[in-house]
Amino acid sequence: MKKTIRKFLGVSQLEESIVAHTLNQEKELLFRQRELKAIEILKPYLPTGYLFETGFSLPFQLIQHIINDMLVYRPATLLEFGSGLSTQILSKMIHVEALDIQLISVDNDADWQQILRKDCPQVQFYSFPLLPESPYAYTNSGSWYDIPSKAPWGEKPIDMVLVDGPKGSTCEKARFGFIPFLEGKLGERPILYVDDTHREEERFILEQASSFFNLPQVQSFHRYSRLSHTENFYTAPS
């Protein structure tokens, strides 16, 4: 069918590929411009001293988007899977703005979390090893955090979730586990963020989460996506 359409329109596969590549470059350029703007906006909440940022760190504009939602919707609890630069910035922002938000950070690397603790005294850090054939993993055949069914942080509903772990290379659809784990644990109007949704596996997980939690509002921003019930305010960075 595609070949027939191309022949009818006089568009070659090479031309189609060039157009797609150009569009992707434009998206990447816009993404990088927004990163620079987000860094400026987030300066009051950046860690003191050296800024430990790597290719695995969350985009600064995603962190800015989360903070916009925190200021507008005032979640009581924020649960993140994957500790890192976002933990430091969100922790400092909560402290500076004197917000009453419980920030829970889950990771499988206890040594890494220990490094982060000095800048995040009010964050509740929890380290869990990755369990092979986890009941929460996709098709129960992969690995996911070995979190007890009764989570150690209590039973308070989770209002906001940030999914950036485990590493995508851990196993097939490595981050799927948050979906069955959070069944019955979310608040009435939760907001979920999933990083790396420019990748096929994360897009699949995003679609599954939207359906499972009945979150029809799906916004995608080149490298990450946001899920919610409704969109009362537009909080995405410009």
Residue 130 DSSP SS3: strand
**pTM across the whole model:** 0.87
Number of neighbours of residue 38 by Cβ within 10 angstroms:
19
Dihedral, 169, 175, 181, 185 alpha carbons, nearest 10: 150
1-54 tens-digit pLDDT = 555 555 555 667 777 777 666 766 787 888 889 999 999 999 999 998 888 888
39-68 tens-digit pLDDT = 999 999 999 888 888 878 899 999 999 999
CA-closest candidate to residue 101, choices 137, 85, 77, 134: 77
Alpha carbon distance 83, 160 (integer Å): 15
Residue with tokens 């200021």: 71
Are 176 and 45 in contact, with CB atoms under 8 Å apart? no
Residue 145 DSSP SS3: strand
Residue 210: pLDDT over 60: yes
Average pLDDT, the chain: 92
Q: Please give the DSSP secondary-structure letter assigned to residue 177.
A: G
Residue with tokens 């909080």: 235
Residues with Cβ within 8 Å of 50's Cβ and at least 6 positions away in sequence, in order, are: none
Residue 80: pLDDT over 70: yes
153-199 tens-digit pLDDT = 999 999 999 999 999 889 999 999 999 999 999 999 999 999 999 99
| Mean pLDDT within 65-85 | 97
pLDDT above 70 as % of the chain = 93
